[in-house]
Structure 1
Amino acid sequence: MNLTYKVHPIKTRYQGWTNYCYIIEDIVSRSAIVVDPSWELSKITTTLSELEAELKAVALTHSHYDHVNLVDPLTKMFNAQVYMSKKEIDYYQFRCRNLISLDDHQTISIGNTRAQCLLTPGHTAGGMCYLFSESIFTGDTVFTEGCGICEDDGSSAEEMFDSIQRIKSEVSPHVRVYPGLFSYDLLYLLILYSSMEKSRKTIEQTVGKINLTDNIYRGYHQHEHATIYPVITIIKSYRSETHLLIGRVALRE
């Protein structure tokens, strides 16, 4: 199959954050979409310049700051349209220039390249993945090691389960997955877990608990069809047994 587009991954960093954004370049028109522009504006603009591509749109998987940080400068520079799910916009009252709301199964396009918009709540109330012919951009719904955390306002482990099952059933196995993060940094998870606890647990105590639980959990993790990032699941188990169960089932083949 002849692709109408090329994907250009850009790894960006800011302080302790590492995010991936992506430029999708339509081959014929040389127009482009950027997915989840987070940090390091110059990396994005330099790539566009080197490609001699014109930025036409920004596609946002959700409204967290580490995925939308560069929307304002990019829309000012290129007057690009900004796409986000209607559910996400309404729930979090997200606002920016040139914002266009999207419904489930709606299609967006640049040149000869089209993408289907899949509503995938879980990490946030209205998360959205963008499915191209050979690629899907999943934001914080699916990582290479697990899935996005479900502890913030509007998030739901139950909806994350349904969203991952939907991706598995509707997206062809040959499609490449491009996540916003490759995995959560361990230190970030430890700090997050500690902040959720009401008692005065230290990071060192948390590490001890995770190591202990990991020993119990390891047998399941080695199952030939299991593709779960154990640290995320372990931390969820301290909040809710249901979260642990959903985390396990969601990422099994």
Structure 2
Amino acid sequence: MNIKHIDVGYSGVIQVVILRITYMSMVNYSYMVLDHINNQAIIVDPAWDMEKIEQTLEDTGTVLRGILLTHSHPDHIHLARPLAEKYHCPIWMSNEEIEDSGFSAPQLVGIDKTPWSVGQIQIEPIFTPGHTPGGMCYLIGNSLFTGDTLFIEGCGLCPDIQSAHDMFESIEYLKNRLKPETLIFPGHSYGRPPGQMFSYVLKNNIYLQFNNKNDFTAYRLRKGQNKVSFFDFK
């Protein structure tokens, strides 16, 4: 089991379990965030492998208390409804993403940028539109769960000029908001494993080097991108 220990500055230690989940040619990363003081957990972007998720809960002796969704694409929400129904827990998604996507579930709770807590797990939602109109990242202690907004090696696809402008502004906000030691946990890997420090991403990710939205947009929407290599998941 791949567990990152992170000291988040209050009583006890929050753990992040990295769940590498595959489906056909796709590879996604879901994350279980554990509060061992209260023996409870939340999960980020659960998809495809119910058995692995349930085994992780059993192995860690925790109960699922909530589901964080970064955005509404199928490979990030696939198990949200069945998990919420089985464990009687809420699903959190931004109000903007709910409105844009039409995603619904009996346990769905729309959120804004207001932080909240689940036991010892303190969650700060950070609104990051671009890949989708209502994308959210979640800062928990010194770990940021970025979905398809920010990868270690790049950023999520943007369908048009406005969404690329939004992505640039979201990345600029993260550059100003995050500490260098913040750990980045994205929805996909294209080479480097999840949990890299933001200082590494800031130095090595080409999408964080642009100083204005027009240059960023021209590069993000450039022609001739090799879509096969883009989906070279690790």
* Counterpart Cα distance in 2 of 1:181 and 1:149: 12
Q: Look up the match of 2:170.
A: 163
Cα separation, 1, equivalents of 2:78 and 2:55 = 18
Q: Aligned pair in 2 of structure 1 residues 29, 155: CA closer, same or farther (>3 Å)? A: farther
The answer to whether the 8 Å contact 2:36/2:62 transfers is no
Match of 1:243 among 208, 217, 220: 217
Greater RCO structure (CA 8 Å; 6+ sep): 2
* Deviation of 1:178 (Å): 0.2
The total of aligned residue pairs comes to 197
Partner of 2:151: 143
CA deviations over 1:5-37 (Å, ceiling 9, x no partner)? 100000000011100000000121011100000
Name the counterpart of 2:3: none
Q: TM-score, normalised by structure 1?
A: 0.72
Is the 2:91–2:109 contact (alpha carbons within 8 Å) kept by the matching residues of 1? yes
State the SS of the aligned residue for 1:116. strand
Q: For the residues of structure 2 that align with 1:54 and 1:117, how far apart are their CA atoms?
A: 22
Shift of 1:108: 2.6
Q: How does 1:221-240 map to 2 (within 5 A)?
A: 225=203, 227-228=205-206
Query: What TM-score, normalized by structure 2, do the two folds share?
Result: 0.78
Conserved 8 A contact 2:129-2:166: yes
Distance in structure 2 (CA, Å) of the matches to 1:45 and 1:103: 29
Larger radius of gyration: 1
Unaligned runs of 5+ in 2: 1-6, 192-201, 208-213, 223-234
Identity %: 37
1-side partners of 2:87 and 2:13: how far apart? 22
Cα distance, 1:246 vs structure 2 = 5.9
Q: Go from structure 1 to structure 2 and tell me whether the alpha carbon gap of 1:117 and 1:26 turns closer, same or farther (over 3 Å shift).
A: same
Map of 1:4-83 to 2, 5 A cutoff? 4-83=13-92
Answer whether contact 1:125 1:155 (CA < 8 A) is retained. no
Q: Distance in 1 between matches of 2:25 and 2:159?
A: 20
**Kept after mapping to 2: 8 A contact 1:158/1:246:** no
